[in-house]
């Protein structure tokens, strides 16, 4: 999942932890990527083990007030590299 409109003033580690606690109830999370580069500020990617979990999370949390901002969620355009690592490629 691709998340946007996140608070970019929160420390990277804290943001990752808060996202994990919020999204893990919808399914097994493989990875959370939140870069603090100028281009990626206020954005994150969450990789679920399966599509059903990501769909459930997106439906449940779309527009959720996360740390003072309304979170925008959509499917990511590409496939995460974590899946290639799991397959041993």
pLDDT digits (tens, 9 = 90+) for 38-83: 778 889 999 998 889 999 999 999 999 998 999 999 998 877 777 6
pLDDT at 36: 77
* Buried-state track 10-36, b at ≥16 Cβ within 10 A, e below 16: eeeeebbeebeebbeebbebeebebee
- What CATH number should be reported for the domain holding residue 21? 3.30.70.330
Q: How many domains does the chain have?
A: 1
Q: What is the domain extent for residue 79? A: 2-87
Distance CA 9, CA 28 (A): 27
Digit-coded pLDDT (tens) for 1-43 = 999 999 888 899 999 999 999 999 999 999 999 887 777 888 9
pTM (predicted TM-score): 0.85
pLDDT at 84: 63
């Amino acid at each position: 999942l691709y998340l946007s409109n996140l608070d970019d003033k929160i420390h990277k580690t804290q943001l990752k932890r808060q996202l994990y606690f919020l999204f893990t109830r919808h399914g097994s999370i493989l990875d959370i990527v939140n870069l603090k580069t100028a281009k990626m500020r206020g954005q994150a990617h969450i990789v679920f083990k399966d599509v059903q979990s990501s769909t459930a999370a997106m439906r449940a949390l779309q527009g959720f007030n996360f740390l003072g901002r309304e979170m925008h969620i959509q499917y990511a355009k590409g496939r995460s590299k974590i899946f290639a690592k799991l397959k041993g490629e």
